[in-house]
Amino acid sequence: MNIFVTRLSPNTDEDGLIQLFSNYGEVSSAKVIMDRETGRSKCYGFVEMDNDDEGMTAIEELNDSEVDGNTIVVKKSDPKPDRNNNFRNNRNNNRRDFNRDNNRDNNRRDNNRRDNNRGGRDDKFDTSRW
């Protein structure tokens, strides 16, 4: 079970989360999310527990409890979205939209050229396209 923990103290680290949740069962992993630029904690993290019953007990017991001077919020985490498929789909959609718009512009340009080439001639057939 994946558990979301927020309102953490900036001083709380992964070891602290493991110690906190290990009172309720075996912890597979714990991660405190850090800001890429500053390296500081974003004050939330995730804990993964193997046993769902132990995870639910930890959620019920630890939600709205005080840890390192902060009242934390603990909830069951939603599963991670599959980022690879979303990236691929967005990239293909953007490429398709670009091609569609680009083709539309090219067609307008070609039509304008044909119209300009016809100006002033009384030819029945436009030979510029051949």
Res 99: pLDDT: 59
Res 122: pLDDT: 53
- CATH number at 2-76: 3.30.70.330
- Show Cβ contacts of residue 55 under 8 Å, excluding neighbours closer than 6 positions: 1, 3, 24, 25, 49, 76
Res 101: pLDDT: 59
Helix axes 14-22 and 52-62, enclosed angle (nearest 10): 100
Res 68: pLDDT: 92
Distance between CA atoms of residues 57 and 52, nearest Å: 9
**pTM, 2 dp:** 0.62
Tens digits of residue pLDDT in 82-118: 666 555 556 555 555 555 656 666 666 666 555 555 5
* Start-end of H helices in 43-124: 52-62, 83-118
Distance between CA atoms of residues 110 and 102, nearest Å: 12
